[in-house]
Amino acid sequence: MSAIKFDLTYDALLLAQELEKALNDNWISHYNTKDYYGEWKSISLRSASGSSTDIYANYGNEPFKDTPLLTELPYVQSILADWKCEKEAVRFLALYPGSEIKPHKDLGCSYQDGNFRLHIPILTSDQVSFVVDQQNYQLDPGTCWYMDFSKIHYVKNDGDTVRVHLVVDCLRNKWTDELFEANGYQEPSRKMSLEEVGKIIAQLEIHQTEVANQLVEQLKAEYGLS
């Protein structure tokens, strides 16, 4: 599954009003300069350093902190509180007219990897293409989406206005599992290759115990091995 449109909507007008409070702050050009052309800028509401100009999304095991800007945005705070999971980076991301995020993959950025990224459009137009795994999605203001960015994706703004999303990086837990399942998510198969299965069977057969033999039979049946 490349995308989920959640059964959740947020007040796009309130989001736009709170976005106004951020427009006079210092927005930073995205650091992955090879992945886009034109203007792609960001400002952080949560970051590893606690600074709004720290727009890096991945910081290993360092805890993320609210930035001073987030304290000025009560509606965004309420949205984050609605999601009963740990939040990492939270940013406004702006793609300017005539700009494009080039086709690329973000490895490890998939729900099955234990984390996920939400997109909540605030300002957009029907001239924005948001393509994930060869499908173009129309993301309307106030809607809430999960995208599997481990698949090839790109975004292009052919309109005359800036496109701004609230982007929230979250960590998977039981609450999110239930929400994703309720919205149609199915865990992708993680089947091993026949070579990997053969190695496991060879190791199990060394033990010659009842449990090991049962596992061997289960693996053989699942993978169609005689």
- pLDDT tens profile 39-98: 999 999 999 999 999 998 865 567 899 999 999 999 999 999 999 999 999 999 999 999
* Interacting residues of 148 by C-beta distance below 8 A, sequence separation 6+: 1, 2, 3, 109, 110, 111, 132, 133
CATH code for residues 3-182: 2.60.120.330
Instruction: Quote the pLDDT of residue 28.
Output: 96
Mean pLDDT of 192-217: 78
Q: Which stretch of 23-27, 135-139, 160-164 has the lowest confidence by average pLDDT?
A: 23-27
Instruction: Quote the pLDDT of residue 192.
Output: 64
The residues spanned by each domain of the chain are 3-182, 191-226
Q: Where are the alpha helices (DSSP H) in the chain?
A: 12-22, 74-82, 174-182, 194-207, 210-222
Cβ–Cβ under 8 Å, residues 53 and 32: no
- pLDDT tens profile 162-193: 999 999 999 999 999 999 999 999 887 656 67
Distance CA 137, CA 5 (A): 10
Distance CA 217, CA 207 (A): 14
At 74, which amino acid appears?
A: P
User: Which has more pLDDT, 210 or 43?
Assistant: 43
